[in-house]
Structure 1
Amino acid sequence: MEDYLITGMDQFDDPVVYFALFANWDPVTFEEAFKKPKWQEAMNDEIVAIERNNTWELIELPKGQKTIDVKWVYKTKLNEKGNVDKYKAHLVAKGYKQEFGVDYKEVFASVAQHDTIRLVIALATQNSWPIFQLDVKSVFLHGDLQEKVI
């Protein structure tokens, strides 16, 4: 086991120390994030990626249509040793304000399910396959929608 990096609560004698060290300190509001240069840079990177990928275009609001507000979501990404790797800001639509059947017709979340991850790890272990993890930068900016988002 000395070849493996073990992280988790069992490393700490006092659970309070664990939660104090790994508590979520990410900003919740734009105003809070904008006070820190590292979050300003993360927001700028997101806007640049959105524009580079032609994710949106500005249009006139059609009569009778409502806009969908956006909000910033902030996340500090850690490396395998628990150190800060990068600060990530996502500009997301408040899709929960949309109405199914009116504003959209299907729902999809591209998140791996825990059962699938466990199966892949079990197969890799059984067959001595190496496991690699990667992050695709701005992957969610590449999807095309059939519906108009206003």
Structure 2
Amino acid sequence: MEPKNIKEAMTDPAWIESMQEELLQFKRMDVWVLVPIPDNISPLTLKWIFKNKHDEEQTVIRNKTRLVVRGYRQEEGLDFEESFALVARMEAIRIFLAYAA
């Protein structure tokens, strides 16, 4: 059974171990650095997501947890700049331009 919130997850040792594995991965991969919070900034909040991995017979084989950011508070120009990602292959663009010419 998947827990609905952190309180339910903290009652089961298997889910606690899964959460510890997730935090250990963050530490091992050097994902973040803790910094002091400036006075005029409210930090992003986090949320735990709990899912069970099943095999073909729907038997639980693993408890999977993810720690994700809740909400979205970034502002264009302050936190990021508008970017462009090319989604078409260059060959397709060349063919299109050759056909148009």
TM-score if structure 2 supplies the norm length?
Answer: 0.70
Tell me, in whole angstroms, the C-alpha distance in 2 between the residues paired with 1:105 and 1:33. 38
Partner of residue 43, structure 1: 19
Distance 1:54 1:83, change over 3 A: same
Counterpart residue type for residue 45 of structure 1: E
For structure 1, list consecutive stretches of 5 or more residues without a partner in the other structure: 1-24, 107-150
**Could you say which residue in structure 2 is the equivalent of 1:29?**
5
Question: Is 1:74 the counterpart of 2:83 in the alignment?
Answer: no
After superposition, the CA RMSD in angstroms is: 1.8
Amino acid at match of 1:33: A
Counterpart selection for 1:98 from 73, 76, 80: 73
Q: What does residue 59 of structure 1 align with?
A: 35
Structure 2 unpaired stretches of 5+:
83-101
Inter-partner Cα distance in structure 1 for 2:79 and 2:57: 43
- Percentage identity across aligned positions? 28
AA partner of residue 43 (structure 1):
M
Equivalent position of 2:60 in the other structure: 84
Describe the shift of the 1:105–1:79 C-alpha distance in structure 2 as closer, same or farther (beyond 3 A): farther
CA deviation after TM superposition for structure 1 residue 50, in Å: 0.8
Structure showing greater radius of gyration is 2
- Alpha-carbon distance in 2 for matches of 1:76, 1:46: 14
Moved over 6 A (4+): none
1:76, 1:82 → 2: CA distance?
10
> 1:104, CA displacement in angstroms?
4.5
Aligned length: 81
> Higher strand share goes to which structure?
2
Q: Could you state the TM-score of these two structures normalised by the residue count of structure 1?
A: 0.49
Q: Which amino acid aligns with 2:24?
A: V
